[in-house]
Structure 1
Amino acid sequence: MGGGGVSYDVAPVTPLTPAAPVPFRQFIVKAHGRCNLACRYCYLYEGPDRTWRNRPAAAPTAVLDRTASRIAEHAEAHGLTELSLVLHGGEPLLAGAGTLARFTTQVRDRVPPGTAVHPVIQTNATLLTAGRLDVLAAAGIRVGISLDGGLPGYNARRVDHAGRPSWAAASRGARLLAERFSASYAGILTVVDPTADPVEAYDSLLALHPPALDLLLPHGNWSAPPPHLAGERHGRWLCAVFDRWWYAGRRETRIRLFEACIALLLGIPAATEALGLAPFESVVVETDGTIEQVDSLKSCYEGAAETGLDVFRHPFDEVLRHPAVTARQAGADALADGCRACPLLRVCGGGQYAHRYRAGHGFANPSVYCADLQRFIRHVARRLTEDATVPLAAPAEGGTP
């Protein structure tokens, strides 16, 4: 490219498979395996994987106790100086704010001295109250919320089990968090809807004053394509929001996907499942203590996330030796031939793992969003050529796969 800016059409460097497994640094713990909402598009409860039906609704005390010990064991074995503790579900607040606080304290008390624990809860915000937020804040638990946008119309498919809209409660919880507990506010996670006006959707989320946004592509794959996958619609949506954010000076909020893309284009490491070749560092503990890979795999087929291991009988180091986890830590070596030859390899990284699946062919395929990702990455690179001196903070933390 001209202009003396960033060059992104370069031959990929030969990737290196890690000499040893990379330890887990993000522990996603299912405090509660059910949800008070019945979102019509939910890949977890409406998708092909039904294993959640056979697990307890809430994680028993014994599971949480053993999980805390396993996390501490892993931290000590690998000399971790910090780790992310994601309190997840379902809707984790169904387990009770006190339970979440006690579990967080258990983890902090058991990890080695010098290991910083960064806890965050990912919630749909409908159950947030001042009392619950007081408990979470006292335990140092930050709060991330999941919404489809900042207006009622964007959340029309987010309903409870009686079909009633959730927006009134969710927006009340989000505003309470922003106005009275801003120090605990981690940000908003939202899934891209290419049928929505991108700038309007972005502005509606800004009205909730999030310190960070996590924009996720809808889960889908080659055998079960996501809705509206045509004409690079998702990529064009991301480009429109990127331009709105970029020309506003990148000061309105942090957007993890955008910051990661910029960092990778500049040759700066960025840890995100959506982009790049960083080794997989997340692990999930279900309510019955079984250890799984990330939930996004459940959008592929029944049992796709399973490892056959559990916290009662197996340390997390054994999970690192699981063939599926080994493959996900192999970087470009596990990608399709076309991905390894692509000039955008170091930035794209093949896209999110679950989006590569094709029945009968596994995951060694390009992302179902390949065209969208190429359009988005090249668009960001063009903007960088216009302003080659971009002040860049470390990519925003937060979010789950």
Structure 2
Amino acid sequence: MTTVQRRLQVVVKVSKFCNLRCRYCYEYDELGNRERIDPDRLHALFTSLHEHLTEVDARDGARTGVDFIWHGGEPLMLEPGYYRAAFADLRAVFGERTHRHVVQTNLTRLDDDRLALLRDEFDSIGVSFDVVGGLRVNLAGRDSTRGVAANMLRLREHGVRFGCITVLTAANAHRVDEIFDFYERQGTSFRVLPLFDGAFADQHAGYDVDNATIVSALTRLFDRWLASPSAIQVSPLDEYTDRAIRHLTGAEPVYYNRREWLDVILVNTDGEVYAFGDPFDDPRHSLGNAFTTGLREVFTGPGYDRSASAAELRMAANCVSCPFFGACSGSYVADGETSARDLADGAVRACVVERAVIEHIAWRLRDIPDLAPRWTAGQAEPVAF
């Protein structure tokens, strides 16, 4: 059998329960819900996933590795024994299949047992940390920044590597230089994530951002990164830079096709499965249920066909006329997060931010010889999600 390495990311919304009340959280209405995915349902997910991948790997002559991204809520509100038992069960089910465990955490709880869990059981750690802005608060409305920074220091002291995610809002978009300088001093790679749509109307009043603000912040951040000798990775700018370099160097074109392979799925707490970028708060977009119907049906059913058709529609509306198509596969609009600010004519997502930032990067890099080594030298810690 010809071996072709490919990966599937499975984002597991293990619980919505959280000890913070970040003012922009898209799960805000559910953060008090203590429901979790119980071990029997996790076992059903693991078994169904392994059976499905065994079948499609045999069909495709491929071997698929799986990245489990444990998400919330706040995943570390669950006791460490929950994860140790789940990971042991997964090893028994998966056998020799390659897999990794990633956690996205607010890092407000870091006792000795959780520190050992992060050090010994997880392959990658993403810390949600905005550096500035004051929107990540606890139930009493107190800013969590100082306590999380102290826990990040504790991780470093114990040799635990991690990356960070910073949500871009009107409260910090004008301070991206300060954000970059903080992470550069720490030697920490990070992802900038523009604000999602909120959980309710007017949730983001006072700190929402429009596309022009996002483009301005990301292009300024790229210029700051370009001028730095640091090897830290800044996402999604590293991805955009790859597309710009492919465009400038005339690389072999690549084109995204969701019908061939979907590399990220999200499993909600109730087992409903969604393609990355589809609104997982809307059952109409569900591909099926991992706990009841199994993943073979999820990937072959009518929900999957609807999702793939919608991705194709977004690509047709955006990519055909884009000068970067081929250097960029089209995945940003196919799989990109839905956001009201990105809807063209109220129906089809428009590729506004990505195209503008890639264009800026290509313009900045156009006269730099031997582009690739500058952007591949860093050994960055992956940022979770």
Q: Look up the match of 2:146.
A: 168
User: In structure 2, what is the Cα distance between the partners aligned to 1:231 and 1:82?
Assistant: 35
Residues of 1 paired with 2:275 and 2:77: CA distance? 23
Task: Choose from 293, 308, 316 the match for 1:314.
Answer: 293
Q: Does 1:75 align with 2:56?
A: no
Secondary structure at the residue paired with 1:85?
strand
CA distance change for structure 1 residues 381 and 162 in 2, over 3 Å: closer, same or farther?
same
Q: Counterpart in 1 of 2:60?
A: none
Aligned partner letter, 2:104: Q
What CA distance in whole angstroms lies between the structure 1 residues aligned with 2:162 and 2:233? 11
Q: How many residues align?
A: 349
- Between the aligned partners of 1:262 and 1:327, the Cα distance in structure 2 is 31
Between 1:37-46 and 1:193-202, the stretch displaced more is: 193-202
Tell me the amino acid that sits aligned with residue 134 of structure 2. A
- Alignment partner of 1:85 is 2:85: no
SS for the counterpart of 1:383 is helix
What is the distance in 1 between the residues matched to 2:213 and 2:18?
A: 30
Provide the rounded CA distance (Å) in 2 between the counterparts of 1:96 and 1:156: 28
Contact 2:163-2:382 within 8 A present in 1 as well: no
Deviations 1:315-338 (A, max 9, x none): 212222345544554665543535
Question: What stretches of structure 2 of length at least 5 have no aligned partner?
Answer: 1-5, 58-62, 248-254
CA distance change for structure 1 residues 186 and 105 in 2, over 3 Å: closer, same or farther? farther
In structure 2, how many angstroms separate the alpha carbons of the residues matched to 1:320 and 1:244? Answer: 42
Q: Distance in 2 between matches of 1:265 and 1:197?
A: 25
Query: Which string of whole-angstrom CA distances, capped at 9 and with x for unpartnered residues, describes residues 262-297 of structure 1?
Result: 2223339xxxxxxx8464422222333333344772
Q: 1:98-157, CA deviations, whole angstroms, 9 ceiling, x for partnerless residues?
A: 2122212322332142x21111110001012333121232224422111112xxxx2511
Structure 1 unaligned regions, length at least 5: 1-22, 269-275
> Is 1:354 equivalent to 2:338 in the alignment?
yes
Q: Which residue of 2 aligns with 1:366?
A: 350
Residue type of the alignment partner of 1:107: L
Say whether the 8 Å CA contact 1:255–1:396 is kept in structure 2: no
Query: 1:290 corresponds to which residue?
Result: 272
Report what 1:129 is aligned to: 111
- Segments ≥4 residues shifted beyond 6 Å: none
Corresponding residue number in structure 2 for 1:335: 315
The letter of the residue matching 2:111 is T
Give the CA deviation at 1:37: 0.5
- 1:384 alignment partner AA: L
2:164 pairs with 1:188: yes
What amino acid does structure 1 have at the position aligned with 2:338? A
TM-score (norm 1): 0.76
Q: Which amino acid in structure 2 is aligned with residue 254 of structure 1?
A: Q
Q: Equivalents in 1 of 2:155, 2:301: separation in Å?
A: 39
Does 1:265 find its partner at 2:241? no
Alpha-carbon offset, residue 86 of structure 1: 0.6
What SS class does the counterpart of residue 267 from structure 1 fall into?
helix
Tell me the amino acid that sits aligned with residue 399 of structure 1: A
Q: Residue type of the partner of 1:109? A: A
Does residue 118 of structure 1 match 2:95?
no
Rounded to whole Å, the distance in 2 between the matches of 1:243 and 1:186 is 24
Structure 1 position 209 matched with structure 2 position 187: yes
Give the TM-score normalised by the residue count of structure 2.
Answer: 0.78
Is the Cα contact below 8 Å between 1:41 and 1:157 reproduced in 2?
Answer: yes
Tell me the residue number matched to 1:42.
25
**1 CA distance for matches of 2:318 and 2:14?**
40
Give 3-state SS (helix, strand or coil) of 1:28's partner. Answer: strand
Q: Provide the C-alpha distance between the structure 2 equivalents of 1:383 and 1:57, rounded to a whole number of angstroms.
A: 49
Distance 1:121 1:69 in 2: 21
Aligned to 2:83: 100
Cα deviation code 1:222-253 (max 9, x no counterpart) = xx89855457221111111111111213x341
If asked which structure has higher relative contact order (CA below 8 Å, sep 6+), I would say 1
SS in 1 for 2:68: strand
Cα gap change, 1:349/1:281 in structure 2, threshold over 3 Å: closer, same or farther?
closer
Partner of 2:368: 387
Going from structure 1 to structure 2, the CA distance change for 1:81 and 1:292 (only over 3 Å counts) comes to: closer
**Once the two structures are superposed, what CA deviation does each residue of 1:13-55 show, in whole Å capped at 9, x if it has no partner?**
xxxxxxxxxx971111122221110111112225xxx6x88x7
